[in-house]
Amino acid sequence: MEITNQAIGQTLAKLRRERGLTQMELGRAMRADGVTVSRWERGQCGMAAVTLLEANRLLNGELLRALQWE
C-alpha cells in the first residue's frame, strides 16, 4: 500500500470505528477537534509526523502496522 493521506485516513477511520470511538473522542485524545479528524480520515490534509506517531500510540501501534510502515 502506498502511504498517502488517503491511505492513512482510511486506516485511521477503520481503526477508530473498530474501537467504538467517535471523531470527537479521538480528536480530544489527540488535542484536535472532530473536524480535523474528519479531514485526516478523508485525506483532505496530512498529519504531521508527531501527530501520526501520537495516533499510532493511542491505537496501540496498529496504525503504522496496518500501513505496513513500522
Given the C-alpha cell 506517531, which residue does it identify? 53
* pLDDT of the residue at 55: 97
- pTM for this prediction: 0.91
Domains delineated in the chain: 5-66 (1.10.260.40)
Each residue's pLDDT expressed in tens, for the chain with a length of 70 residues = 578 999 999 999 999 999 999 999 999 999 999 999 999 999 999 999 999 999 999 999 999 999 987 5
Single out the residue of 60, 55, 57, 68 nearest to residue 9, CA to CA.
55
For residue 61, the 8-state DSSP code is T
* pLDDT of the residue at 3: 86
* pLDDT of the residue at 70: 53
* pLDDT of the residue at 36: 97
HSE-CB of 32 using CA atoms within 13 angstroms: 19
